[in-house]
Amino acid sequence: MEKGSRARDYHPDTRSVSQRRTFRSCGYKWLFNYLQGWRSRQTRAVMVLGSVMEQIASAIACGWVTTADDAEAGFLLAWDMLDRSTVEWSVRNTWEAFRDQGAALSRIIVPQIQERIFVPEVLGQQYMQERIFHFLAPGVREQCIPDLYGFVRQDLFSDYRLTVLDFKTKDRGFDDSAIELDEQMVAYQLAEESKTRMVQQLCLCVMIRGANPKMQWLFADPRPTLLVERHLQSATLIDAQIKRGEFWQNPNECFNMGECEFLSLCYPSRAHERDAKLIRNGDRRASLFTGWDD
């Protein structure tokens, strides 16, 4: 569960749910990020908090952390070691506020995870954040990193079932039906099945931060054939569009839920912000963008 294991292992023809969501929102955003190697110099604070909480929850789920004190100490250690200059803070989402919220949340998740997630003593019965590569269709290469595959039960009176689980950190709970059409869960199910593993149920484990920290557990049966076919069809179409170099700009996304991090690449009047806000890892493949800034 080392942080480095979550770094993007780039291959020009490897796709993921995150890539497809980005592509559907704005083709240029996909192009800048996944092909040309641009990224924001700072990561949003909520994303950083979610990543740290995921690591704490995973450590509890596999039995490495067994007490609330240890969970809180682990969170505080990780949080205090952050390079704050690399994180985008806000008036509400401050380092101090998230430190307090994360510490409190780390304590309350311990007993619930221990009650529901079985810690096996035999190898091969639980996989944590395993990077899985497989093919959704001929030539459509996919990458998935499910948070957990193993035995999970819905409550103290239920049997343990082989489950694909995704941890989320939010400031509020999800609608009870949210898991039913969650695209990420389809991808995780297919990834585990590509390893010839049985999937008996899907689970979203939502860790809710705030003044009253709590957990929400959402369960669903494995995706039926119709939903799987829709997922594969969409993934295949997007993969084909990317390979043909079909990208478009969606101005509606530029200021949706805040500002897109790539405004300085699209708007000539914002070009002066580029060096301060963005960093480039270099082209992943020959650049296909022919916009004003090239």
* 3 state DSSP class of 42: coil
What pairing do the DSSP bridges indicate for beta strands 14-15 and 140-144?
Answer: parallel
Contacts of 146 by beta carbon, 8 Å cutoff, 6+ apart: 127, 129, 130, 132, 164, 165, 166, 188, 191, 192
Average of pLDDT values for 169-176?
96
Q: Give all domains of the chain, ordered by start, each with its CATH number.
A: 21-243 (3.90.320)
pLDDT category at 121 given cuts 50, 70, 90 is confident
- Residue 257: its pLDDT value, please? 80
Whole-model pTM: value is: 0.89
Q: Is residue 173 over pLDDT 60?
A: yes
Average of pLDDT values for 248-254?
94
| Helix residue ranges per DSSP H, the chain | 17-25, 27-30, 45-61, 68-80, 95-116, 183-194, 225-243, 263-266, 274-277
Q: Give pLDDT tens digits for 201-240.
A: 999 999 999 999 999 999 999 999 999 999 999 999 999 9
Q: Is residue 291 over pLDDT 60?
A: no
Query: What whole-number percentage of the chain has pLDDT above 90?
Result: 87
- Residue 289: its pLDDT value, please? 38
Contacts of 272 by beta carbon, 8 Å cutoff, 6+ apart: 264
pLDDT category at 122 given cuts 50, 70, 90 is confident
Q: Give pLDDT tens digits for 21-51.
A: 999 999 999 999 999 999 999 999 999 999 9
